[in-house]
Amino acid sequence: MSATTHNLTYRSGANGARTVTWQEISPWQLDNKYIISGYRPERSDYLEIFTSLTFLHNETCNVYTHLIGAIILPLVATIFMRYMAEPHFFNVSSMDYTTFGLYFWCAEICLVLSALYHLMQAHSQPIEQFWHRGDLLGIVIVTMGTFASAVYYMFFCEPSLQRLHWVIVSPSGRLIMTTGTLTGLLMSKPSLQTPPLRKVRVGAFVVFGASSFIPLLHGVQRYGLDYMLQYSGMRWYLLELTFYGTGVILYAFRIPERLLLGQFDVSTISLPPRQPHEAMSVRFHKVKYNKLIRQNITY
């Protein structure tokens, strides 16, 4: 796009247009060629950015799904923690609370960073890149939180194995820490934030997520598949990974907007179909905790 496009964007905003088409935005704003309208003009005024919460544009669903989730999640966590304190959970330890809190703090960080990223996208290219890195960092954080809590319940009766995976002594721990660190570094490079390298970013997350299967395989090898499915929460963990993975696939291949051009510009774009998958992943994590606490209090 030429400089004329940038000037047109400015005139559109100056004339009061709240949203514009892809032909009227700055080149750096075009992240998804299948979204053709509903863009906010580039604005360096934070007040105008926050004002965009009051009208519909092609980031509205992204902002509000994350923002509402970030508001609701602490309430859900508080209710569940009080539920854990009920008398019939007589053997709940401080480690259960710590593990529970860790995951939900990680999820909260992810939701807040994502909400801010989608809200700030129209500010300027440097600000967009800054919050984009924050968004990707949030995904790495929640993945690590999921892994840490999963290890606690997978090896509930063997603290030594928990520590082996947590302190990055075992091969799986080294791999997860390595892939997590590399993913974080990869996401922090501005040169890799461009749309053509989207699949590189997705690939990094896939490798990072796949490394978390190693503790599962370790558990199956040590305890057997039936035990892992019945008592370690493996089935819920696999459901979490399935929903996360489905969201990543939808994002990478721009589904559904590439199938019905122009039909998902404002009502939803490639990230919102991922939001129910993220929400269901949190739900499965909560259900998994509930069942595991009920089972593990007998130890």
Binding residues for Zn(2+), as ranges, are 118
DSSP string computed for the chain: --HHHHHHHHHHHHTT-S-B-GGGS-GGG---TT--S-BPPP---HHHHHHGGGS--TTHHHHHHHHHHHHHHHHHHHHHHHHHTSTT-TT--HHHHHHHHHHHHHHHHHHHHHHHHHHHTTS-HHHHHHHHHHHHHHHHHHHHHHHHHHHHHHTTT-HHHHHHHHTT-SHHHHHHHHHHHHHHHHHH-GGG-SGGGHHHHHHHHHHHHHTTHHHHHHHHHHH-HHHHHHHS-HHHHHHHHHHHHHHHHHHHTTTTTTTSTTTTSSS--SSTTHHHHHHHHHHHHHHHHHHHHHHHTT-
- Residues flagged as binding site: 118
